[in-house]
Chain A
Amino acid sequence: MAEWGRTTLELIVGELQQPVRLDASFERRVMVRVRRLHAQRRRRGVASWLGVVSRVTHHPGWAAALAAGIVAIVTLGVMRTRPAPTALAGAPREPVQFVLVRPDARSVAVVGDFNDWGLNDSALVATNHQGVWSVTAPVPAGVHRYAFVVNGKEWVADPSAPRSAGDDFGMPSSALVVEDSTK
């Protein structure tokens, strides 16, 4: 054997870098699993892409709205889209993910009563993932109103969630109920 050194290390690495080829059945097996998940997801609704959804109310106009690129869904298993009777004072915060599919947007932020409808809250500025804008932020348990602000000026309600009874500032907004996971 050659003296241990750079050359020997290169020999070892050269052997370990030899390709490992899987047969075609591997890809088929993976895709069987993936298609099964895809079918389950379609049955549950597109929102389950978020991967952590325990319950989402389906909006009848979902498909059309997606095509129009103006769909938003809030999840993380703490949301219920039916109104609750009261807000919870001093309640713990729960993570809520806000998502808006809007490929043409330059910026998207979430505003709501939980941040005093403030556009300058960096914690609620969504990140763009190929036209899917999302942000996860802690929101106090209770009943809230919220909306998306697109390009800093266009106020968009969540079309997959119920509209709130009274639109704040004369703008459209949606209702959100965050449940306390500790109870």
Chain B
Amino acid sequence: MESSDAALVTRVLHGDVNAYGALVSRYRDRYARYAVHMLGNREDAEEALQDAFTRAYRSLARCEEPERFGAWLFRILLNRCRTSGARRVRRGQTFVHDEGALMKASQEHPAEQTMWREEIERAIGELSADQREAFLLKYVEDLGYDEMAEITGVGVSALKMRVMRACDRLRTLLREVHSG
């Protein structure tokens, strides 16, 4: 039977470092998805996720609800993505597509679907970081507004506004593409 997060955290705190590997394995792909969409490329996403796992390990004793390790880790990753995003803006970099994912998609999907996917990736990259974060949490991670507020530290009303604006912006961006 698969160990619970709480059981694995307890084992790690008692010196079983291998138990942490199970937690990494459990959350890496799901959280990689968020980081890739948030940061726009696999390299930055992997770096952010690696950093989040390391920070979480270092502070594990301060995880007050070990049964909710995943949510706690996600909060660390979210903050790490914010920092990484801010750094990228300061460096003046532009949003970069996940070329590896696009290549894979082009092999697996018909050309039209690949194009659609590229446009979505591009449009998501055009959103402001706040809007992108709110949109991904709401629709891709499927979180409720209360949970989003807890994780982001942003009020529910502000989050609803960001999601609405993100949807408006996506509508405009994707309509431009398909009417042009």
Contacts and interface: CB of A to CB of B under 8 A. Distances in A.
B10 interface: yes
Contacts of A38: 17
A35 B50 contact: no
Interface string A119-155: 0000000010111101000000000000000000000
A26 B124 CA distance: 25
Interface stretch (B53-61, B79-87, B144-152): B53-61
Contact of A29 (B36, B50, B136, B175): B50
Contact of B62 (A1, A15, A51): A51
A11 B117 CA distance: 10
A4 B171 CA distance: 7
Interface stretch (A17-25, A159-167, A175-183): A17-25
B60 A34 contact: no
Given A26-B46, A34-B54, A132 B17 contact: no
Interface stretch (B25-33, B88-96, B153-161): B25-33
Interface residues of A, number: 35
A83 B163 CA distance: 57
A22 B32 CA distance: 7
14 contacts: A4-B174, A9-B167, A12-B139, A13-B139, A13-B140, A15-B117, A19-B29, A20-B32, A27-B21, A34-B54, A35-B17, A51-B58, A130-B6, A132-B13
Interface of B: 6, 9-10, 13, 15, 17, 20-21, 24-25, 28-30, 32-33, 36-37, 42, 45-46, 49-50, 53-54, 57-64, 66, 101, 116-117, 120, 124, 136, 139-140, 167, 170-171, 174-175, 178
